[in-house]
Structure 1
Amino acid sequence: MTTVPYWLLINTFVVYIVFCSETQNNVCSKTCSTSMKNSYVYNFCHEQNLQLQGRCCVNVTGSQQILGLDLQSCGLSQLTGLFTHGASLQVLLLQDNPLMNITSTDFEGLLELKYLTLPLDSDCPGGMDAWEVTNTTANETLCLQELDFCLVHNVSCPSNSYCSNTGPGLSECLCLPGYHGYKCLRKGTFPTTVFTAGMVGSTLFVAGLLWFTQRRNVKKQV
């Protein structure tokens, strides 16, 4: 059996945290050639009594959710990893960008979209069946009111599991409470406490070992 070194897991975890933090901060401070004044996000934000923070419309109460995002004319060529903190997004403007190879997975995790604009000649993620209304104007592709893929397509999952919508045109089968493992065949709950304790203990041990060895090298250099 091939095992993954703990140091690699730790580094991956740290990189993931840093990446998510940078993504959340940078997505609202994108430099774009089009002003937000009177854009759909701008008007939406004021109508809902929300707060504009750069290119974002934010609900400042509670968990600082981003409800609107105006990225039109921002020179975007890809969307991968851009919406890490966008689960609450309702309005998203992406027209007038040189986007290439847009796929449904670029919008994975976005479950609340009500208004999405894309560059002209782009297809709505998930296709026409993933939205109440899809339309093409002279300047953009418009996708209105995301639909629950599980309900629209009556997705069938194996025993002991259920369908969960994960984005426009996307879904996955999750285990029912009391089941876990491959195809949800194992009864009982996943041993979260034991797993977490093992991970925390291993992480602390490796962190302490690295600190000790690196600290010794520093002393030698001094």
Structure 2
Amino acid sequence: MAARLLLLLLLPLLPRAAGTVCGCCPGPLGNGSAVGRYCAGRAGAEPRGRCCLAGGAQPGRIVGLDLSNCSLRSLPPGLPEAAGAIVLDLTENPLATLPNSSFRGFTRLQSLAVPPWLQCPGGSGAWQQDTTHGSRRLCRGQRNPCNSSGELAWLCPENALCAPDGPGLSQCLCASPWRGYKCLREGAFPVLLFGGVLGTVAAALSLLLWSTQRRKAKTP
């Protein structure tokens, strides 16, 4: 019981294995597609479903994703699994909209192909190139929003720095050694204290549940 409860408490912190978004569309990664060509030219990379997975020092990380011609009317819920992708293809899909928040965390993305009637996420200013060729719009060279205007830096509180968070998106990160709400606390995060409190709470809940179930079992 204690192990199960501890697992439930830690489950949100565990990394998810790649695979869900790689298999959300039938068929393998096409050799002639942009993602397929990128995967073939990247040392150590290998295709898996519609994904290109990195090798070497970062095995299993999705660096390319080809969801073209998948009859998608909206972005798949597993898209955040590919936040480390460098090349992404969404062409030949009846997508009605492309919310900017869907690409939050896609800071490595450098080549994005979408249907021509859609705009590049974050607008054309979020990319070095925004061009349309036939049945696709190409968004290339993601810009760092923190470098494009000094206004973003003023949005962050004192002791915090602006950092990119996807096409046209930014976030405020506490500068070392500051942390906490609005970066007002100084010092390193108390990992040992946090782990001790978490373990104590898990043990107390396990003991409480065990004693409750035991009483119920003894009741005729």
Name the residue aligned to 1:26: 20
How high is the TM-score relative to the length of structure 1?
0.80
User: Residue 149 of structure 1 contacts residue 165 of structure 1 at CA under 8 Å; is this kept in 2?
Assistant: yes
Q: Deviations over 1:88-119 (max 9, x none)?
A: 21100011122233111101111111110112
Percentage identity across paired residues of the two chains: 34
2:146 corresponds to 1:150: yes
Deviation of residue 56 (structure 1)? Answer: 0.9
Structure 2 stretches of 5 or more lacking a match?
Answer: none
The partner residue of 1:82 within 69, 78, 81 is 78
Q: Deviations over 1:146-203 (max 9, x none)?
A: 1111111232133211001111111111111121233222333333332232123212
Paired with 1:208 and 1:137, the residues of 2 have a C-alpha distance of 64
2:172 corresponds to 1:184: no
2:55 corresponds to 1:65: no
Q: How does 1:200-219 map to 2 (within 5 A)?
A: 200-207=199-206, 209-210=208-209
**Amino acid of the structure 2 residue aligned with 1:176:** A
Name the residue aligned to 1:162: 161
SS at match of 1:162: strand
**Amino acid of the structure 2 residue aligned with 1:58:** L
Deviation of residue 145 (structure 1)? Answer: 1.1
Structure 1 stretches of 5 or more lacking a match?
Answer: 1-7
Paired with 2:85 and 2:71, the residues of 1 have a C-alpha distance of 21
Q: 1:13 to 1:75 in 2, by over 3 A?
A: farther
User: Residue 83 of structure 2 contacts residue 103 of structure 2 at CA under 8 Å; is this kept in 1?
Assistant: no
Name the residue aligned to 1:4: none
Paired with 2:213 and 2:80, the residues of 1 have a C-alpha distance of 34
2:90 corresponds to 1:91: no
How many positions carry a matched residue from both structures? 210
How high is the TM-score relative to the length of structure 2?
0.81
SS at match of 1:183: helix
The partner residue of 1:104 within 89, 95, 100 is 100
Paired with 1:169 and 1:36, the residues of 2 have a C-alpha distance of 30
Paired with 1:105 and 1:53, the residues of 2 have a C-alpha distance of 26
Paired with 2:76 and 2:31, the residues of 1 have a C-alpha distance of 27
Deviation of residue 43 (structure 1)? Answer: 1.1
Q: Deviations over 1:59-96 (max 9, x none)?
A: 13333221111111112232264233323211000111
Paired with 1:189 and 1:148, the residues of 2 have a C-alpha distance of 28
Name the residue aligned to 1:195: 194
- What CA RMSD, in Å, does the superposition of the two structures yield over aligned residues? 3.0
**Amino acid of the structure 2 residue aligned with 1:193:** L
